[in-house]
Structure 1
Amino acid sequence: MAKRRAVTMTQVATQAGVSQATVSLVLNGADGGRVSEDTRKRVKDAVEQLGYRTNAFAKSLRSGHSGMIGFISDEVASAPFAGELLKGAQQFAWETGNVLLSVDAYDDAELEAAAVDMMLSYRVSGVIYASMYHRHVDVPKSLEALPSVVVNAQDPTGRFSSVFPDEVGGGYAATRHLLDAGHHRIAMINIQPEDSDLPAGVGRLEGYRRALEEKGLVLDPALVAYGSGIVADGFELTSRLMAAAEPPTAIFCGNDRTAWGAYRALEALGKRPGRDIAIVGFDNHDMLAPNLDPALTTVALPYEQMARQALQILLDGPGSEVRRVAVECTLVERESVMNAKVQR
């Protein structure tokens, strides 16, 4: 089958009955009022009828702008829910007349360096440097050549703007919800070891502490357990907490997988979340939280909002000051929390 030849600007001009220069002025929005509305319409009709496409690469060489935004991540595109970062960035890029050029580097330094070189060669307007989970990242020095924003992570050097989830606010919201339901003996199962400095667990624990203190309660170390964010830890640590002489009436789990493990432990003990003990998770994992029985009250990570905020910082221009933006994590109420007064 013969390959169809690309339609040329000359063919558009012939179809519209104008000069090639007029077509160029219309398509580039550079006519300055010198082209009549009737002529402009004939050019646009000819473009549509012939299926003409502008040479975006050639246009970028002339203008220095490609209309593309780079998106470099570790494993965001393949992560089950952090992919919302990529989705949010793609949608906002499209809404603002840009296209996203995305590469997952899988923490491979050579692949990451090659991705940066590619972004430079395509003359991207800027780069979003994203992480699958909230952590401190070492941003490649080569990205200093481009406007860049870190998202779902933090740049500890302060060279780049960072957009990340408000973990403290999320932990506070989860704990406050349990307190407002009348619970005072609230346990927390964190998602990392006690000596870990990862922002997610540190922030969620701080939010838990703040909510208790605001209510006049002192954090009881016996009610804080440290896991690794997996289902097995949720099962084991919930079993341990419930075996205490005075077990908690509510548990704030540091993520939804931990909460799933807590559900399994309670089931093994003949207890039901939302009836015998209140459970709140964190992440709002859409394949998990709404499908547990009962559906899990949890805190949503603002992936799409973070991506949009990061892209907006890029679009604000290279003169923008370095910013640190903590995006609100919102509580999603479902059926796993009951009022302490009706607890059975």
Structure 2
Amino acid sequence: MKEIAEAAGVSISTVSLVLNGRDEGRVKAPLAALVREKADELGYTVNPLARSLRTCRTRILGFISEEVATTPYAGGIILGAQDAASTYGYMIITVSTDGRASEENEIATLKRYGVDGFFYSKMSNRIASVPASLGDYPVVMVDATDADNQIPSIEPDEFQIAYDATKRLIQADCKRIAYIGCSENMIAQDGRFAGYQAALQDSGFAYDPSLVCNVLNNGPALRAVDKLFDERNPDGFFCFNDARAWYVYECAARRGLTVGKDVSIVGVDNHRVFAETLEPQLTTVELPHYEMGYWAACKLISMIERKPVDSSSWPNTTAPMPPLDSPIPAKIHCALIEKGSVRS
């Protein structure tokens, strides 16, 4: 820094302010630009280890996940977190766990690396409790909700997902709109079922429980949807996810019905295996994996640094990210991706 100060004709303290990003309001912009230019010319780079010894911060974030790190279509969560961390000068160490014992071992390892804070992520938006071993660290939950609504968290707006999808089917003039749901007890199922009912009610449709079919997967699910076709003859389907939409495509084909003409279908996920290979392509609500990861990293960094991060550099995303001071849990309004499975 002494060499840079001499080259730029400034004090060492000015160089320190500029290179540590603390020059705003303290150093005139042209002078700060000159310092950065001279630093580049002299090949100056920050030594993270030296800085961590001085500041007692490593600028490392620990990402603890259950299934997320090993699930291809949810990898956007980690990508979003990495992009945000890099923007603000942090890096991420990601670990995947398969139970409480494994989780505690990974947490202990990350602590030995001196991480400044933790992401705690589950798959498919579940209610979860952060381990007590993280009690002394800043923590943000990703695609998960704290049982006591005390830990900052980010999740899709499950209610709005279903509301928007069902309203789209109503706009397509569907009269008998079925819900192909999930028989597992989870936040997404509860929120989407409630959104489906609310959209019907707000549009003057009577809720008909015989049009609801909650299933798991494989043969039993296909047979349940097949039975629904025979007994109720729906002309619109909102499906809990893209995988369940496949059963509707299959049953429609068996009856000689054309998807996008005779029946309309909306899924959730924008899962490439289903949303891009079904014909016609599936209209679906895209889950905001990237946005959740990006928002969570910004929130965690703001907690570590105890000040708001500059959101002016946030990327343009498919779904708009909520403010960092949103109520717990913060919710993202997901985007409906129009394709060909809903009649125009």
**Shorter-chain TM-score tier:** 0.7 to 0.9
Maintained 8 Å contact 1:190/1:201: yes
Take 2:72 and 2:209, find their aligned partners in 1: how far apart are those partners? 33
| Other-structure match for 1:206 | 194
Once the two structures are overlaid, the 10-residue window that deviates more, 83-92 or 119-128, is 119-128
Maintained 8 Å contact 1:234/1:259: no
2:43 paired with 1:47: yes
Take 1:40 and 1:253, find their aligned partners in 2: how far apart are those partners? 54
| Other-structure match for 1:295 | 281
Maintained 8 Å contact 1:150/1:310: yes
Q: What amino acid does structure 2 have at the position aligned with 1:241?
A: L
2:295 paired with 1:309: yes
From 224, 248, 254, give the equivalent of 1:237. Answer: 224
- Report matched runs for 1:1-344 at 5 Å: 44-47=40-43, 54-105=46-97, 107-193=98-184, 196=185, 198-228=186-216, 230-244=217-231, 246-317=232-303, 323-339=328-344
Take 1:321 and 1:288, find their aligned partners in 2: how far apart are those partners? 33
Bigger fraction of residues in strand: 2
| % same residue | 34
Take 2:36 and 2:263, find their aligned partners in 1: how far apart are those partners? 69
Distance 1:232 1:301, change over 3 A: farther
Structure 1: gaps (5+ residues): 1-8, 340-344
Take 2:171 and 2:40, find their aligned partners in 1: how far apart are those partners? 61
Return the TM-score normalized by structure 2: 0.81
| Other-structure match for 1:4 | none
Give aligned pairs, total: 314
Distance 1:297 1:303, change over 3 A: same
Maintained 8 Å contact 1:189/1:234: no
Return the TM-score normalized by structure 1: 0.81
Maintained 8 Å contact 1:178/1:250: yes
Maintained 8 Å contact 1:234/1:262: no
Take 2:273 and 2:252, find their aligned partners in 1: how far apart are those partners? 21
Shift, 1:291, TM fit: 1.9
Maintained 8 Å contact 2:19/2:36: no
Shift, 1:294, TM fit: 0.4
Once the two structures are overlaid, the 10-residue window that deviates more, 233-242 or 326-335, is 233-242
Shift, 1:65, TM fit: 1.5
Partner of 2:259, secondary structure, is coil
Maintained 8 Å contact 2:122/2:143: yes
Distance 1:84 1:38, change over 3 A: closer
1:323-344 Cα offsets, whole Å, 9 max, x none, are: 32111122111111115xxxxx
Maintained 8 Å contact 1:239/1:265: yes
Partner of 1:291, secondary structure, is coil
Shift, 1:92, TM fit: 1.2
Distance 1:248 1:41, change over 3 A: closer
Maintained 8 Å contact 1:233/1:261: no
Q: What amino acid does structure 2 have at the position aligned with 1:222?
A: S
Partner of 2:270, secondary structure, is coil
Take 1:155 and 1:212, find their aligned partners in 2: how far apart are those partners? 30
1:160-208 Cα offsets, whole Å, 9 max, x none, are: 1121111100011110000111112101110225xx2x10111111000
Take 2:159 and 2:33, find their aligned partners in 1: how far apart are those partners? 56
Take 2:239 and 2:149, find their aligned partners in 1: how far apart are those partners? 31
Rg: which structure is higher? 1
Q: CA RMSD in A?
A: 3.0
1:245-265 Cα offsets, whole Å, 9 max, x none, are: x41111111110010121112
Partner of 2:146, secondary structure, is coil
1:257-290 Cα offsets, whole Å, 9 max, x none, are: 0101211121122222112211111111123202
